Amino acid sequence: MRDKRVLVTGAGGFIGSHLARVLNESDNFVRAVDKKWDDYIAQPYSSERLTLDLRAGLNCAAVTKDVDYVFNFAANMGGIGFITETGADVMYDNALINLHMARACIENDVERLFFSSSACVYPTYKQQDPQVTPLNEHDAYPAKPDSFYGWEKLYTELALAAFSADYGLNVRIARFHNIYGPEGTYEGGREKSPAALCRKVAAASDPGTIEIWGDGLQTRSYCYSMTALQASSP
């Protein structure tokens, strides 16, 4: 994709920062937006960088002006520890962001909206056996996510389907699962399991023990993310 005007929300986070760099290197105008910029993530290479809270509808309306594509990664989220302990703030914050963003895309005639969903939408009853069968998109129903975060993601998928049906909003959705790689969150409660395990091992005494959640029989899927710029670095 080249020569497009692109908005990346959540560009101060892990996936958003990687995407902003790739799109910028592909000769696109990239507007990077986040409410904060973590110092352990290199600043996204972009044409424009804005610090805004996208829970506010006026901010969503402002950042979607004059762009072709929107990649919406802005969210209140974290690792399993965070999303199982935090419910109301996750659902409230993310619903505001996603609904305001959908409305703003319609009002500003955005060509296409991408929404970052999650494998947390899948029901618990499909994931009890360690020898789990790989899930398909239709396996999300009958719905029974194991967290408020999963319910919020599933709700937003349905809301965007409604916006598409009623207003013609062109939507794309991907359900990510355990994205990890360079510059991912390493500690503080919002890190994913690969970073948490590595941190625990690195910090353990020799000999020593570490705490692993669950019964040790779980199976997990992971997706590695690294930009070409990082891959070429020493």
Q: Which residues are catalytic?
A: 149
Closest among 79, 113, 116 to 94, alpha carbons compared: 116
Q: Where are the beta strands (DSSP E) in the chain?
A: 5-9, 29-34, 48-51, 69-72, 112-118, 171-176, 179-180, 223-224
C-alpha closest to that of 75 among 161, 16, 140: 16
Residue type, 17: S
Handedness of CA 54, 59, 60, 66 (dihedral sign): negative
